[in-house]
Amino acid sequence: MALLSRKERNLVLDPLTDDNPITVQVLGICSALAITAELKASVVMAVSVIAVLAVGNVVISLLRNVIPNKIRIIVQLVVIAALVILVDLILKAFAFELSKQLSVFIGLIITNCIIMGRFEAFALGNNPWHSFLDGIGNAGGYGLILIIVGFFRELLGFGTLFGYKVLGDPIEKTGLYALGYENNGFMVLSPMALIVIGIIIWVQRIKNKELIED
Amino acid sequence: MSKLTDKNSYTVIFAIIMVVVVGSLLAGVAQTLKGRISENERFEKQQNILYAMGINNNQGATDVAFIPATEVAEKFDTYIKKQVVIQGDQITEDPEAFLIDIKQEASKAKDDPNYQRRLPMFIGEKDGKTLYIVPMRGNGLWDAIWGFMAIDENLRVEGVFFDHAGETPGLGANIKERFFMDPFTGEELMSNGTFRGVTVAKGNNDPRNNRKDDHRVDAIAGSTITGDGVTAMIRRDVAMYIPHIKKLINEQQ
């Protein structure tokens, strides 16, 4: 595989595991708690953030030598907000149905700390190609956690996955519910997302002791 | 090393250029696409009104499929027999009633107690039944929620459509899903001649929604405030129309 050098491969792969933005860098926690009640919302958010962070990282990286240091955070905010609003406007004009589905996520993307975090920590100091890979990797790592949390919350909270009743019907008492199983209503609420993320962090640190801080 | 980008003058000039460029880019794009966007929004409104009447392309048990935008204007003309505007006691016909911005009307009425709010209503016909479709608008947890309710001649709900600007995905955002909207169909709005509306209720012990005269539908777990917003919206906005709908029904008979 000569497509990506070793360093480049690490840029994409590290954030998926040992340098995960949510469980290790503790970025993007808020949206991971808020919108993971269903798997579908997790997937949409994951895909949107991958697209936005990859493109945003490239733009910031291209501008990195001209952005004044004193107002760099504001510039980053303007870039990301302008990008997202542009995409939203274009979708509204040419793919209205899609824009209806995504509109809820727009605000969540702009205020997502993972985006600003990667601009500040990586794109400002690296070339566009590496920034692009970093964007894909970090947004991918973020999306991975979102999807894991969404999987458990939807399965245990609603007994469904992507809306399909995988455990049977709770009202008609079929499948597992016939045996007396009940959905855990608490899983639907965000505190349980925090607990699920906590468990992921715990498991990850059992497997890799180097991640444990003193 | 002292860099050019650290200078104050550079910072100021950069900020000015950035604001001008980004501002005019966004304004320019918004202006160019304005026509298309408002056209899409008009179609969406017609799709929503038809959906509340039960005119849709739903196939499975869970999908919410509107009449496609290419056909919606034609279908709208076929099914909606009359569009009226109610102002005070006056009911006048207005073929563009669906373009009335009910958010603006509500805020005008709030600012000026003497202002007579214009209430748009759509009178449709489906399978020989006359339906009165009324718009609603209220507040969810994070942002606005709105919708349409189709009411039949017995003041029962024929169908509803809800939408929202920013409710939590997976929770409150599900008010636009079939499992939430479908149970409204058939619910009685009146009880002994007084308006009760439909309450989004927890623990009404009727998840299949077999009881249609209890004025209640099952709430979504984890989205209490959005559900309460739906209840309040129905109580406030639909109530304004009830006397007028009653009058129209009496006139017809």
Q: Which domain holds residue A92?
A: 25-154
Residue B128 backbone dihedrals phi, psi, to 5 degrees: 80, 0
Please give the tally of structural domains in chain A: 1
B27 interface with A at CB cutoff 8 Å = no
Contacting residues of A for B166, CB less than 8 Å apart: 103-104, 107
Token pair, residue A211, equals 């991640």
Q: What does the DSSP assignment read for A175-188?
A: GGGGGT----GGGG
Residue of A nearest to B24 (CA): A82
Strands B119-126 and B129-139: antiparallel
- Mean pLDDT for B66-87 is 89
Burial of A164 (0-12, 13-18, 19+ CB in 10 A): exposed
B179 interface with A at CB cutoff 8 Å = no
The partner residue sitting opposite B37, judged by closest CB among A41, A93, A157, is A93
- Mean pLDDT for A161-167 is 86
- In this structure, is residue A10 part of a structural domain? no
Residue B177 · residue B164 · CB < 8 Å = no
Contacting residues of B for A95, CB less than 8 Å apart: none
A148 has a pLDDT exceeding 90: yes
Q: Hey, where are the domains in chain B?
A: 4-34, 39-252
pLDDT tens for B86-109 read 988 888 888 888 888 888 888 888
Q: Inter-chain contact A78–B18, Cβ cutoff 8 Å?
A: yes
- In this structure, is residue A143 part of a structural domain? yes
Contacting residues of A for B36, CB less than 8 Å apart: 93-94
Q: What is the DSSP letter of A19?
A: T
B166 interface with A at CB cutoff 8 Å = yes
Residue of A nearest to B19 (CA): A78
pLDDT tens for A37-90 read 889 888 988 998 999 899 999 999 999 999 998 898 999 989 888 888 888 888
Cα(B26)–Cα(B174) distance, rounded to whole angstroms?
31
* Tokens 């998926």 belong to residue: A16
- In this structure, is residue A166 part of a structural domain? no
Q: Which residue has the higher pLDDT, B211 or B199?
A: B199
Q: How many helices (H) and strands (E) does chain A have?
A: 8, 0
- In this structure, is residue A200 part of a structural domain? no
Q: pTM value? A: 0.80
ipTM over 0.85: no
Contacting residues of A for B18, CB less than 8 Å apart: 75, 78
